[in-house]
Amino acid sequence: MSGIFYRQTGAYAREPMAERTLIIIKPDGVQRHMMGEIISRFERKGFKLAAAKFLQVSEATARRHYAVHEGKPFFEGVVKYLASSPVLAMVWEADGVIDMARKMMGATFGYNAEPGTIRGDFSCSRGYNLIHGSDSPESAAYEIPLYFADEELVNYGLVDADWLYGKND
């Protein structure tokens, strides 16, 4: 398909290198039928989807993913959890997306997370908290290639980008 639907237009489309974050709907999110709910929150916020993959994470990848937590008491548990059942890995894009997504996710433990956040609304567990999101640009740069090859990240413009990302000043 070509033509107007994929034409790069608008201010945002001229800045294709907006920040990216790795979001994973974790095994409990998939098993609890929460994928649509979670995706719809990011979609309605105005983030742009750059990649998505439904997969079974291997224990080796889970170890690499959580390498920063190696040696902590919960490390083996969180590795097993991430590799316990399929997940939906996604890359979402927007200026400031890393911090915005973290706010939308809520605090790490479901029982601490504020109502209105994903974890606050749908989790009361400690470790089973539905979603992963990169916590810094450095984490995103490390995590995204664990799940996606460069060519799997799709560059395109949103036709309503000027409305989504409009500025008055």
Q: Which residues are catalytic?
A: 132
Minimum Å gap between C-beta 116 and ligand UDP is 16
Burial pattern 75-102, b for ≥16 Cβ within 10 A else e, equals: eeebbebbbbeebbbbbbbbeebbebbb
Task: Please choose, from the candidates 84, 55, 35, 34, the residue with its C-alpha nearest in 3D space to the C-alpha of residue 147.
Answer: 55
- Whichever of 21 and 129 has its CB closer to ligand UDP, that residue is 129
Q: 84-143: which residues touch Mg ion (CB under 5 A)?
A: 135
Site membership for ligand UDP, residue 135 (CB under 6 A): yes
- Whichever of 9 and 139 has its CB closer to Mg ion, that residue is 139
Q: How many CB atoms lie within 10 A of CB 4?
A: 7
Residues 16, 126, 154, 163: which binds ligand UDP (CB under 6 A)?
126
- Whichever of 36 and 77 has its CB closer to ligand UDP, that residue is 77
Site membership for ligand UDP, residue 137 (CB under 6 A): no
